Amino acid sequence: MKKFIVAALALLPVMTQAQDAPPQKTPDFAKLDQNRDGFLSHEEAKADPRAAKFFGKADMNHDGKLNEDEWLKARSMADRQKAGEYADDSTLTARVKSALLAKKGVPSAEISVETYFGVVQLSGFVDSAEQVRLAGETARGVAGVKEVKNNLNVKPKR
């Protein structure tokens, strides 16, 4: 009986530690939690760049580590930011197309506009070098455009 009690007392710290950390529900979190304490340190979170970027904002109780719910919140923040960047690019593309449509002397129907992180790419064929210049200038004038890659070509003469 004494051996049983001694063995049970030896396991008590392990059992107490297991109770402190809530059970993990997400396999991805479990992979990141290298020391299996139920929390992610700054170092462990670096393995998930999306969560690492929002570590400070997601650490709601300011204890310097993320529990699983806080980690999920950090991932959600990163996903929302990424979705916002795509929405911003779509909005910027629409504004550039609108500006080209409004600009006299620019054949907007002939110009394709694509945007990636604020960099606008113009492509297609136009009638003159002046139209290439005018389209690029118009795109650069739209608020939010960081750079314009003017890949417009003048139609070859027949």
List, for residues 98-141, the tens digit of each pLDDT value: 999 999 999 999 999 999 988 999 999 999 999 999 999 999 99
What's the pTM value of the predicted model, to 2 decimals?
A: 0.51
For every residue of 74-108, DSSP letters joined together read HHHHHHHHHHHHHHHHHHHHHHHHHHHHHSTT--G
Q: What does the alpha-carbon distance between residue 134 and residue 103 come to, in Å, rounded to a whole number?
A: 9
Q: What does the alpha-carbon distance between residue 52 and residue 54 come to, in Å, rounded to a whole number?
A: 5
List, for residues 19-29, the tens digit of each pLDDT value: 455 565 778 88
Q: What does the alpha-carbon distance between residue 44 and residue 33 come to, in Å, rounded to a whole number?
A: 6
Domains of the chain in sequence order: 2-82 (1.10.238), 103-154 (3.30.300)
